[in-house]
Amino acid sequence: MNDLQVGLLMVGVVVLLIFAAYSAWQVSRRSPKQAQNTASSDWHPPVVKEPSLVDAGVMDRPFGSPVLSFPEKKPGLDALIDAIAPITLDAPLTGRALLSVMPHVRRIGSKPFAIEGQNQSTLHWEFPVSDQFYTQLQTGVQLANRSGALTDIEFSEFIQNTQRLAETVNGTLNVPMMHTEVNRARELDQFASDHDAQLRFVLRAQRSTWSPSYVLKTAARHGFVAGGTAGRMVMPASSAGMPSILSLTFDVQAAMADNTTQSVLNDVVLTLDVTHVNRHEFAFDKMRKAALMLASDMEGSITDDNGVVLTEAAMETIADEMAHLYDALDRCEFSAGSPLARRLFS
């Protein structure tokens, strides 16, 4: 083999090595990022049990001015949010007797329905307990939630169920006026529409896609835990039993794949249900910080649902609007994160 042939052979080998390296780089670039140093390819963070109490753009509803007027509140069932029908009893009844005749109804249409008795000993209103005595009863149906306002038909069904209970226990029903309660429901629904807000940040992959296992481990480093369903992580509240501060969600099918290291994710979504989280959690600050840190770690961008990049100025504007929203909710006794707010915005 002469010098020319040797030279050509060496050039060919170099070209093949360069091509192989380029091909490997392309494959690596297209492959989703993987979690490093995990004991198992299907690693999952600990699961948190979320409380069960009962998206458009970055913020899905504007804020309005409070325009509500309500009668005096009662414990348990609350006149701020419920239509209440009192039942006068001729004599105290045991909780055991009440529980045996109470209708098995938990919702009227899309609205929660409840029955309470006034405890003879404590005078507190409560769901009947078998070994207690009750001097009065009241039923209630929620006036509004995210499904809308209580309708005439729903109100009529509420009264029918309450009337049957009153007849069964030989009680006298004081029927609230349909016109008044339905108007209150519409007013409350308008208030809810003007003051509801859910924030969504979309983290979009830039340099390379992600695998679910990579997202899980990266998010876990920043305080997220598994949320109990596939493709969902949450940042727990500082107090036990309260709703999670943030949720991070991604494609369910990718999360449920047999090999999550090979599934491909192009984006994940951070969500804050503003009215469900106490303002003292500083939820938006945590959301912004989490988004920035995740975007940095995973080499992604932060956008709204339409793909518009969210600037620092845009986030400051959102923070100011949230402060006004919190103030408006506080003034109307629907403070963010309170039981009443969580009921109304459910």
Nearest CA to 248 out of 225, 264, 266, 265 is that of: 225
Write the DSSP symbol of residue 243. Answer: P
CATH topology of domain 82-193: Cell Division Protein Zipa; Chain: A, (3.30.1400)
What are the sequence ranges of the domains in the chain? 82-193, 196-344
Nearest-angstrom CA–CA distance, 72 and 86: 14
- State the angle between helix axes of 152-168 and 178-195 in degrees (0 to 180), rounded to the nearest 10: 130
pTM: 0.80
- State the angle between helix axes of 283-298 and 212-220 in degrees (0 to 180), rounded to the nearest 10: 130
Nearest CA to 185 out of 220, 142, 153 is that of: 142
Q: For residues 117 and 134, is the Cβ–Cβ distance under 8 A? A: yes
**E strands in 263-342:** 267-273, 300-303
Write the DSSP symbol of residue 274. Answer: G
Q: For residues 286 and 277, is the Cβ–Cβ distance under 8 A? A: no
- Judge whether 82-193 and 196-344 match in fold: yes
Predicted confidence pLDDT, tens digits, the chain (346 residues): 565 554 545 555 444 544 544 454 454 445 566 565 544 445 455 555 544 433 334 454 544 444 454 444 444 799 999 999 999 999 999 999 999 999 999 999 999 999 999 999 999 999 999 999 999 999 999 999 999 999 999 999 999 999 999 999 999 999 999 999 999 999 999 999 999 999 999 999 998 999 999 999 999 999 999 998 999 999 999 988 899 999 999 999 988 988 877 789 999 999 999 999 999 999 999 999 999 999 999 999 999 999 999 999 999 999 999 999 999 999 999 999 999 999 999 9
Nearest-angstrom CA–CA distance, 114 and 77: 8
pLDDT the model gives residue 251 = 93
- Measured in whole angstroms, how far is the alpha carbon of residue 91 from the centre of its chain? 44
Q: For residues 33 and 210, is the Cβ–Cβ distance under 8 A? A: yes
pLDDT the model gives residue 198 = 95
Residue type, 184: R
Q: Nearest 10 degrees: CA dihedral of 60, 64, 70, 73?
A: 60
Write the DSSP symbol of residue 9. Answer: H
CATH topology of domain 196-344: Cell Division Protein Zipa; Chain: A, (3.30.1400)
The residues near 25 (Cβ < 8 Å, ≥ 6 apart) are none
